[in-house]
Structure formats: structure tokens, C-alpha cells
């Protein structure tokens, strides 16, 4: 079980849309490092949903609902996608500013490589962020 962070520009695909849709495919990744992270995702892994550009904050948690499969929106055929399912919102979104100022979080891949759209999250980072966001731990899956 691993943890991730996925970035989306809310004017393109927002958390509200994700919640309304439930399960949606996460396509459009065109960067090898991000794509490698997408490939490493397993069913049931959890990921933070981050709003880039507008908001710049973590707004919710999604679960990987389908593992890596071809992204037919990629004409080169090199990149794939996963499906993600809205799991729960952050009662209190956590901003990029807070993350940068937090001793445990300031070295996250999100900060070190600001252009990486899909990045890994350590268990410690996950716990700290859930606590900051007002999310109760541990998270349980539906049986």
C-alpha cells in the first residue's frame, strides 16, 4: 500500500467534479517520471488530490480504482493512465504555503520538483497531511 499526490488544475478538472463523477480516469500524463509513478500505482493505493495554479492546496483523497492501462488520448502510445475514485474531502484544505513551512513536509517531492504532476508521498508525510487536513486516521476501505 503506497501513497501518492496528484495535481490537477481546478479549471481543468476540479475536486468538485471528481466528487460528482465518483470514478474518473486520470489521463494526460506526458512526463516519464510522472508516468512511472502512475505505473507503480496499485489498486487501493491512496492519493492526495491537489489543486495547482488556482488554490494551491490539497483538497481531498482519492483511491486508485484501476491500475495502469493505455491512455488512448496519447497518439504516441507511450503513456498510460489509471482510474481514481473520490474517497473523502479535506475538512480543512492544506495549502502549499503550509507544506513549505512544515519541517516534515518541506522536502516533499511536490516541493523539490514543482513540475512533477504525480509524485510519491511517504507514510509520515501522509499522516502529517491527514492530521493537518482534519482527516481521521486510519482510513478504512469499504469491504
| Residue in this structure with the C-alpha cell 473523502, named with its chain if needed | 88
Q: Which stretch binds DNA (CB under 7 A): 29-37, 39-47, 84-92, 134-142?
A: 29-37
- We find the least distance from the C-beta atom of residue 52 to DNA, in angstroms, to be 4
37 neighbors 4 (Cβ within 8 angstroms): yes
The set of cell numbers assigned to 124 is 509520515
Q: Least distance in Å: CB of 49 to DNA?
A: 13
Instruction: Give residues 71-130 in contact with DNA (rule: CB under 7 A).
Output: 96-97, 100, 113-117
β-pair type (80-95, 57-70) = antiparallel
56 near DNA, judged by CB under 7 A: yes
Q: Which of 14, 25, 33, 88 binds DNA (CB under 7 A)?
A: 33
Instruction: Count Cβ atoms below 10 Å from residue 70 Cβ, excluding itself.
Output: 12
Angstrom distance (rounded) from CA 29 to CA 83: 13
Residue ranges binding DNA (CB under 7 A)? 7, 9, 30-33, 52-53, 56, 96-97, 100, 113-117
Amino acid at each position: 500500500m503506497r501513497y501518492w499526490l496528484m495535481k490537477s488544475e481546478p479549471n481543468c478538472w476540479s475536486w468538485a467534479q471528481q466528487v460528482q463523477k465518483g470514478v474518473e480516469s486520470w489521463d494526460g500524463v506526458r512526463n516519464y517520471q510522472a508516468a512511472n509513478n502512475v505505473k507503480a500505482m496499485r489498486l487501493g493505493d491512496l492519493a492526495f488530490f491537489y489543486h495547482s495554479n488556482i488554490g494551491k492546496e490539497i483538497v481531498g483523497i482519492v483511491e486508485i480504482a484501476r491500475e495502469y492501462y493505455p491512455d488512448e488520448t496519447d497518439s504516441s502510445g507511450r503513456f498510460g493512465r489509471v482510474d481514481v475514485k473520490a474517497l473523502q474531502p479535506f475538512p480543512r484544505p492544506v495549502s502549499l504555503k503550509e507544506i513549505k513551512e512544515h519541517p516534515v513536509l518541506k522536502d516533499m517531492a511536490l516541493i523539490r520538483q514543482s513540475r512533477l504532476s504525480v509524485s510519491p508521498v511517504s507514510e509520515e508525510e501522509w499522516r502529517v497531511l491527514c492530521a493537518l487536513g482534519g482527516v481521521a486516521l486510519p482510513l478504512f476501505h469499504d469491504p
